[in-house]
Structure 1
């Protein structure tokens, strides 16, 4: 696998968790990370700023859901989000000083980190939210990939 394919993050049904509001946020996240991964040096500040806005809103929304519903694993989940936001702040400062390499590395790390975070932490939250709101587990319908 090439370095480019290792860092690629593409939205697909495989990332669906079955809680609509979360799936919509995640699809937006994937789009913003992909845009950052493919940005020119001139585009990096704008793309990173858009991702920063998204991350804060995304993580605040998930924290609100966890707080309002008494999600048991909230502390661990929030700690992981806080670590991402801390890294974001460091990368923003470096990019302001002209260091684009760390911004690109941050984008690659987000692409690597997200599927595991979604599969483990966000899937548990999606299940919890569906149980609280709908009285059951999430139902996820995925299209079958062809020609794989």
Structure 2
């Protein structure tokens, strides 16, 4: 499953901020579920994804503003673009366009890991540096997500 699905959760997606990491796990699970959901559940699941994304992005946006995170405008803009995409896909699903929902899930699968590993990781580092003067400590234990040769 991990080889075919970029949204397979692994500890490489941890940023070291427990609240953000928990939200990321739920976000990843919803994206994967959206790809696999029966057609009659797509609207419900897309709405759940939108609500989680709104809450999560609002949380991160608030952290960026509160800590004066230097690249916050770019990061916040990316959040707004994702929310607009999800809302646009919802409107198309209402018109019966099911394939566009699966395509959104695919696009999010490719966008999300890079966003987490670059922008969100930098945010977690910034917050930790502001609070305790150091980078966050991230323990990567999910050995099952790595190829067997690396795990040895």
Shift of 1:145: 2.4
Query: Between Structure 1 and Structure 2, how many residues are aligned?
Result: 144
TM-score normalised by structure 2 residue count: 0.89
Which residue number in structure 1 is paired with residue 112 of structure 2?
Answer: 114
Which residue number in structure 1 is paired with residue 123 of structure 2?
Answer: 125
Which residue number in structure 2 is paired with residue 141 of structure 1?
Answer: 139
Which residue number in structure 2 is paired with residue 92 of structure 1?
Answer: 90
Which residue number in structure 2 is paired with residue 30 of structure 1?
Answer: 28
Which residue number in structure 1 is paired with residue 19 of structure 2?
Answer: 21
Where structure 1 has 5 or more consecutive residues not aligned to the other structure, the ranges are: none
Displaced runs of 4 or more, over 3 A: none
Shift of 1:8: 4.0
**Distance in 2 (alpha carbons) for counterparts of 1:89 and 1:144:** 33
Answering whether residue 57 of structure 2 is matched by residue 59 of structure 1, we say yes
How has the CA–CA distance of structure 1 residues 144 and 51 changed in structure 2, closer, same or farther, with 3 Å as cutoff? closer
Q: Check the 8 A contact 1:16/1:140 in 2, yes or no.
A: yes
Q: CA RMSD in A?
A: 1.5
Shift of 1:133: 2.4
